[in-house]
Amino acid sequence: MPELPEVETTRRGIEPYLAGHRIERVAVREPRLRWPVREDLPDLLAARPVEAVERRAKYLLLCLDRSERVLIHLGMSGSLRLDDPANAPRKHDHVEWLLDNGKVLRLHDPRRFGAVLTDHVDAPHERLTVLGPEPLGDTFDGDYLAGRLAGRRVAVKQAVMNAGIVVGVGNIYASEALFLAGIHPARPAGSLGRDECHALAAAIRRVLAAAIEQGGTTLRDFLAPSGNPGYFRQTLNVYERTDQPCRHCGT
């Protein structure tokens, strides 16, 4: 499923075409996503300018005037594609935003586990308020991680995948970061020393930054808005490499 690097890749891909432009029209072809799309969404967004495109965890935020926002979650199989309005929508193109620059942004989601929600900057959606810090932000480091992992018996891999502790570290990136830090994923989270927490925090940041640089990881469904796959899969050390030689030591 799309994780933080894939969502950030998507954000960077669509931002130049949305920020500073106006939404002319919205079409909702299938409102039955993970949570129902509000019925008045087309009326709410018509003729509204997009001031910025941001990301919080795995949510894309279309920041509108009057501090209102559209939250887009890609679910397990979703993707956003910039297209020519003259091209017919594909099957599973459930929501589209027609822009004043002659482009259309289409949400493609075969499994319909994605979401299109709305909120206000001063009243963030409840699904944002429970999230931990951004792993690439200034508030995430080894000291923070040590404090959050202290006393926890759950496996460290499960702990760093907990969005209440830190956002965006999914299965692939947790495995890769633990490998780089030299920490077994099944160790109790509370057993990590402070130096290990610093090493793990640094590895998480390194892995996510590298994945973003390479456009994310394409396993099956994910494509960037350009239609290109993510290439981080080619450098994975752990994920999908059971019984294969280690890339570092060859054993």
* CATH class of the region 4-129: alpha beta
Tens-place pLDDT, residues 54-65: 999 999 999 999
Question: Which CATH architecture fits 142-235?
Answer: Orthogonal Bundle (1.10)
Q: Indicate if the pLDDT at residue 221 is higher than 60.
A: no
Rg (CA), the chain: 19
Q: What is the mean pLDDT of residues 126-149?
A: 97
For residue 153, the model assigns a pLDDT of 97
Q: What is the mean pLDDT of residues 182-192?
A: 98
Q: Catalytic: 30?
A: no
State the alpha helices, DSSP H only, in the chain.
Answer: 4-18, 41-45, 126-129, 142-149, 156-160, 171-181, 194-213
Is the model's pTM score more than 0.75? yes
Contact yes or no for 26/46 (Cβ under 8 A)? yes
For residue 233, the model assigns a pLDDT of 60
For residue 220, the model assigns a pLDDT of 43
Higher pLDDT, 232 or 237: 237
Average pLDDT score, the chain: 92
Q: Indicate if the pLDDT at residue 232 is higher than 50.
A: yes
Four-point Cα dihedral 163, 165, 170, 171, nearest 10: -130
Determine what percent of the chain is predicted with pLDDT higher than 70: 92
Q: Which sequence spans correspond to the domains of the chain?
A: 4-129, 142-235
For residue 222, the model assigns a pLDDT of 39
- pLDDT band per the 50, 70, 90 thresholds, residue 216: low
Q: Catalytic: 196?
A: no
Q: Give me the residues paired with residue 81 across strands.
A: 106
Question: Which of the following is catalytic: 3, 8, 15, 196?
Answer: 3
